[in-house]
Amino acid sequence: MRVRRCALVTLEPRERIEFDLLGFVEGGSGLATQMEWLAIVPHVATSFAVSAGEAALLGEISPTEWTDLATLEKRFASDLLHGLVAKGLLVAEGSEESARDERVRETRWRPESAALHCASRWRGVDADAMQRELGERYGDTLLEKLGPVPSAALERTSADRRLRLPGAHPTPLDALLDSRVTCRNFDVTRALPLDDFAAVLFRAFGARAIDDYAPGVQLLKKGVPSAGGLHPTEAYLLVQRVDGIVPGLYHYHAIDHALEPIRLLSADDALANARTFVGSQPYFLDAPAFVIPVARFRRNFWKYRNHAKAYRALVLDVGHLSQTLYLAATELGLAAFITAAINEVDIETALGLDPLDEGPLAVCGFGYRASVRSEAELDPLHAVWPATG
């Protein structure tokens, strides 16, 4: 069997802290610390602990040249080598692990970006429970525990040295921006009209023109900017209540302006998926339509290969798209939200995505705002909710 080291792996020295009852009884702090190495492995799409010996051995084996395992066993401890093979850090020629590792190589990931993306994915996280636990633990002392909040606006000079600028003359865009308020109160009784649903999708994600830039290279013109005109972000949807559309999971075809069904769902299953996708954040669950912006890595990295800014461009795409979705929804009298507190691994499983090819970076949603505010919304201009008190 011939092996080589996987293409990308990041090792992080981490201190694990555990409660030590015996040490506490004997007069100690009750805390026991242990140093360990955490391996972040993109082709396995997860992270796990490795021993100090395994971590050191990784630096001795080539990621490019295939070497007989028997030859390596003459130089290094056999148990360490086989441990690395079992964990996928050494890949055997012709194996499934080797094929996935080869796909990472072909995608031309920047190692630091691959580690960031891999390490930040959630599975089965209940963000609402985490928030409740934070409140129960700290209550009114949260500010005391976290320290002072950094100032809302950075001040680089004294006030008398600032050059005052003329104000902007109000336009319809100002009214639209004032009314753009993240929604945490959706009307569960109202379905989205199909025309409004389609309009928001087109204005945020639809292709307005196709440019045959070169043989085999199509660039898209959308309502948002994108690095190189590549627009590598796909819109996947979880539909709950849209007129004329069965609840389910869909993919939006940006060129044809059409939905591609992935799986139809009952109303209960659609709600269960919504809860999982947004980490059980209750104030988003009643949105009639959820849009999951999903990055196609190869589309971006085809041009920006092993590029220090390529992953940043993917994240910027989602910012551009979500703001346009907000504005398109607001113009139609609808409300929207975006959250990064999502369970990426569960979304990948539900949509049938391979994390080596596509990755969800956020979840957006839109629909009618409820007439009664039960959850707080940040609306200091009172453009949506009237002032009280």
Check pLDDT > 60 for residue 64: yes
Q: Is 385 exposed, middle or buried (0-12, 13-18, 19+ CB in 10 A)?
A: middle
| Token duo for residue 342 | 């999502």
Confidence of residue 167 (pLDDT cuts 50, 70, 90): very high
For residue 267, give the nearest of 251, 236, 289, 246 by alpha carbon: 246
Work out the average pLDDT over 98-106.
Answer: 96
Check pLDDT > 80 for residue 17: no
Backbone angles phi, psi at 102, to 5 degrees: -65, -35
Placement of tokens 């499934």 in the chain: 96
What pLDDT digit, counting tens, does each position of 334-345 carry? 999 999 999 999
Contact 226, 178 (CB under 8 A): no
What pLDDT digit, counting tens, does each position of 209-246 carry? 999 989 989 999 999 999 999 999 999 999 999 999 99
Selected residue with higher pLDDT from 202 and 136 = 202
**Res 387: pLDDT:** 86
Selected residue with higher pLDDT from 178 and 18 = 178
How far is the C-alpha of 337 from the C-alpha of 181, rounded, in Å? 8
Task: Tell me the domains of the chain and their CATH numbers.
Answer: 2-119 (no CATH), 172-367 (3.40.109.10)
Element (H, E) at 90: strand 90-92
Per DSSP, the residues of 195-227 read: HHHHHHHHHHH--SEEEEEETTEEEEE-SS--G
Which 3 state secondary structure label does DSSP give 338? Answer: strand
**Res 145: pLDDT:** 79
β partners of residue 252? 235, 259
**Res 297: pLDDT:** 97
Would you say how long the chain is, in residues?
389
| Token duo for residue 170 | 């109000």
Element (H, E) at 27: none
pTM given for the model: 0.91
The chain-wide mean pLDDT, for the chain, equals: 94
**Res 23: pLDDT:** 62
What pLDDT digit, counting tens, does each position of 46-57 carry? 999 999 999 999
Confidence of residue 138 (pLDDT cuts 50, 70, 90): confident
What pLDDT digit, counting tens, does each position of 254-299 carry? 999 999 999 999 999 999 999 999 999 999 999 999 999 999 999 9
Could you report how far apart the first and last alpha carbons of the chain are, in Å?
Answer: 75
Strand boundaries in the chain, DSSP class E: 2-5, 10-19, 31-41, 46-50, 67-68, 90-92, 209-214, 217-221, 233-239, 248-253, 258-264, 289-296, 335-339, 358-360, 363-367
